Homo-oligomer: A and B are copies of this chain.
């Protein structure tokens, strides 16, 4: 099939953006930026390092690349408005794989960020399935949330799930055949790994409720929080009950799947790909519904992150090392 024929099959499946001024069909699209600015982020996923087709359906792959980009827009306190998608695929890839990816992107937009859609794309040959998404957002006149605004005395809060994606990945690694994969995909832990559902709308809630700093937790809570602490020139203290609460929604499933309480805390602190929102709020501000307080910000101390009075080792997921 020629590129034009492939695109004709894919386009009807992609979500439309409510912010489109000029859509696909020309050399570029034109998107609304109502307050004279736009938020932009980009993320690439490659088969092998970032996903496996034995585990992820094409819909899962499309959903995830959409979700992780939407999460970065949300972490700025913005509403996602549009995506562009560059897809590289081996020439033997069946058109149904590309259609499934388009369906996954549509589901991610519809379910996580209604009004956001795909405004453009590119199709290439590549030795491994490669998706590169760039996402845009609208700040609605507000200042962007950054990593550098946390202040001593602030409450640290998270929204979304922590730890479940990492536990789900462990469960997938323990499978030995396709039947086992199908069975384990019933677990909510695995579902979070394959189709993360970051709380996109809560990025704007955080911003309107006075958040001082925000970021998406992609490489692990401790590693990402240490980046926020460094950017803000502060240290952070997590409390044990807060970390326990952060795992509340997935603890039952985790215990049932054989993870111990210690395993759960370890995953909450260190596993990547959770795409929870990590936000700091002024101490006198009750965090909005959906946020769980997990600790507080202190003046810069010897170490960036403490668990109670014990410093935590800063380690986590490093997606690219030579």
Contacts and interface: CB of A to CB of B under 8 A. Distances in A.
Interface stretch (A53-61, A69-77, A245-253): A69-77
Contact of A42 (B84, B215, B322): B84
A132 interface: yes
Given A127-B127, A130-B126, A42 B318 contact: no
B28 A124 contact: no
A231 B40 contact: no
Which 3 A-B residue pairs are closest in the complex by CB-CB distance? A33-B33, A132-B132, A28-B41
A27 B139 contact: no
Nearest to A43: B122
A34 B216 CA distance: 28
Contacts of A92: 322
Contacts of A130: 44, 46, 88, 126, 130, 132
Contact of A26 (B87, B95, B146): B146
Interface string A179-215: 0000000000000000000000000000000000001
A88 B27 CA distance: 24
A104 B137 CA distance: 29
Nearest to A214: B27
